[in-house]
Amino acid sequence: MGKATRPLRVAIVGSGPSGFYTAERLQQTEGLEVEIDMFERLPTPFGLVRVGVAPDHQKIKSVTKQYEAVADHPGYRLLGCVEFGTHITREDLRRHYDAVVYAVGAAADRRLGIPGEELKGSHPATEFVAWYNGHPDHKDLEYEVQNTERVVVVGNGNVAMDVARMLSRSHADLQKTDMADHALEVLAQSTVREVVVLGRRGPVQAAFTGPEVKELGELEGVDIVVHADEIELDDASREALENGPKSQQKIYETLREFAERPPGDASRRIVLRFLASPVALHGDERVEKVVIARNRLESDDSGALRARQTDQVEEIEAGMVLRAVGYRGVPLKDVPFDERAGTIPNERGRLRDLDTGEPLAGEYVVGWIKRGPSGVIGTNRADARETVAELLEDLEAGRLGGAEAPSAEAVDALLAERECTPMTFEQWRSIDAHERERGSWSDRPRVKLTSLDEMRQIASAVASGGD
């Protein structure tokens, strides 16, 4: 197994960065002959690079060139429009492949657990991001940006930075991006004048990165507001900052500079609040007010600084709340799942049996469903390396059982039986070319297709040999 006479057959479930880095690592392994089938629920590959990365961060998206090189490699196939659990099961994959790698990311959101969280107008930021990025599942969502002046964003990570920016950037700026047309139309009518970002801990504990927070202060037509008293440091935070990485010190300098800016008169503003947590959302049918408690920092047993609520509360009006408090993994049918962590239990990427704790050779995980929703795109490269090392160790040690029906034809026949016609990478290329061409008419990187039917229609030209 793994030689030209009998290539190693690997199924990768998910076509985001972690899936592609896994495929890349396998392809780069010297002396290994490998056939990779990558399963994807949507017709479009690249996961959050397409439907997560902000539309005004096009440079980050150019990473897809590396993924295209992986797709060009002999032995690689994309099987788009194939849903795990519906069209193909865990058992099927174990029958047809020597190894299965789950690279499905974290599709849901964490909850705040406060009263009013379910009111109309309170949304997970993860869905808002998917909406403005044209994810077909989320294209019909509705946001209240046309009848409110203030939006509250909860959370202090890079997703909070992204959504605050998207709500504040001028229409002229957004129009130059590949933001989905439906979102552009809605945001063009936005009445939002103020976006308040709530960080539950202090400036030193913020999860966002330097360039992302700095960018907020550089937006044209947008004032940035930081209250000086909210970035004053307690002793523990000062010590953490002094001994912490340079990047953290830079973030603090940026925030200090924001706090020192004289009041501006721009038509929009972003307010970065710290030591502030929402404790309730109020409103009759929809969000009207957010109750915010002031926090102080306290060390827990491990020495980490946690937010502890004080009895100082205030209420601010807001017509929409975006909860940007992190993504959360979703269980896959018949695959072990750790509910508490929101991940598939694993040891260095090798699946672990939940009852016995024993590693299960032949099944692996990578990316956010392995380690939780952290890190940047490139983090997944090292992560994939670790998972592939375990897989290769199992191969070397003869622990990969060998699939019962190891052929592409057998998989195709199975999917055909289930009336599932997979989309190929070539078909994705035709969608890609179509979107880019439409973009070129208006000087945009692309105009995204957001309807599955439209995508299928464009792709069908390739399947039928048309142009």
Q: Which residues bind ligand NAP (CB under 6 A)?
A: 112, 154-160, 162, 200-201, 205, 207, 212, 277, 324-327, 373-376
- CB-wise, 34 or 276, nearer to ligand NAP? 276
- Residues 346-375 as b/e (b if ≥16 CB within 10 A, e otherwise) read beebbbbeeeeeebbbbbbbbbbbbbbbee
DSSP 217-242: TT-TTEEEEE-GGGGPPPHHHHHHHH
- CB-wise, 9 or 328, nearer to ligand NAP? 328
- Nearest Cα to 446, choosing from 117, 160, 64? 64
- CB-wise, 92 or 109, nearer to ligand NAP? 109
Going by C-beta distance under 8 Å and a sequence separation of 6 or more, which residues neighbour residue 12?
Answer: 19, 22, 23, 36, 37, 38, 39, 101, 103
- CB-wise, 321 or 400, nearer to ligand NAP? 321
Find the shortest distance in angstroms from Cβ 205 to ligand NAP: 6
Find the shortest distance in angstroms from Cβ 44 to ligand NAP: 19
Please say whether the beta carbons of 99 and 389 come within 8 A.
no
Find the shortest distance in angstroms from Cβ 311 to ligand NAP: 18
**Residue 400: how many other CB atoms lie within 10 Å:** 21
- CB-wise, 144 or 212, nearer to ligand NAP? 212
Find the shortest distance in angstroms from Cβ 233 to ligand NAP: 16
- CB-wise, 302 or 356, nearer to ligand NAP? 302
Q: What are phi and psi of 81, to 5 degrees?
A: 65, 25
Please say whether the beta carbons of 411 and 89 come within 8 A.
no
Find the shortest distance in angstroms from Cβ 198 to ligand NAP: 7
Give residue for tokens 């809605």. Answer: 186
- CB-wise, 241 or 266, nearer to ligand NAP? 241
Residue nearest to ligand NAP as judged by C-beta position: 157
For the chain, how many helices (H) and strands (E)? Answer: 17, 18
Find the shortest distance in angstroms from Cβ 248 to ligand NAP: 13
DSSP 113-142: --TTTTSBTEEEHHHHHHHHTT-GGGTT--
Please report the beta strands in 227-358, taking only residues with DSSP state E, as ranges in sequence order: 268-273, 276-282, 289-299, 305-317, 320-323, 327-328, 346-347, 350-352
Going by C-beta distance under 8 Å and a sequence separation of 6 or more, which residues neighbour residue 302?
Answer: none
How far are the Cα atoms of 44, 127, 165, 253, 347 from residue 105, in angstroms, in the given order? 15, 15, 24, 34, 17
N- to C-terminal Cα separation, the chain: 39
How far apart, in whole angstroms, are the C-alpha atoms of residue 440 and residue 13? 33
Going by C-beta distance under 8 Å and a sequence separation of 6 or more, which residues neighbour residue 333?
Answer: 84, 85, 89, 90
Find the shortest distance in angstroms from Cβ 109 to ligand NAP: 8
- CB-wise, 325 or 369, nearer to ligand NAP? 325
Give residue for tokens 């690279």. Answer: 103
Find the shortest distance in angstroms from Cβ 322 to ligand NAP: 11
Find the shortest distance in angstroms from Cβ 188 to ligand NAP: 24
Find the shortest distance in angstroms from Cβ 353 to ligand NAP: 29
Task: Note the Cα 154 to chain centre separation in Å.
Answer: 17
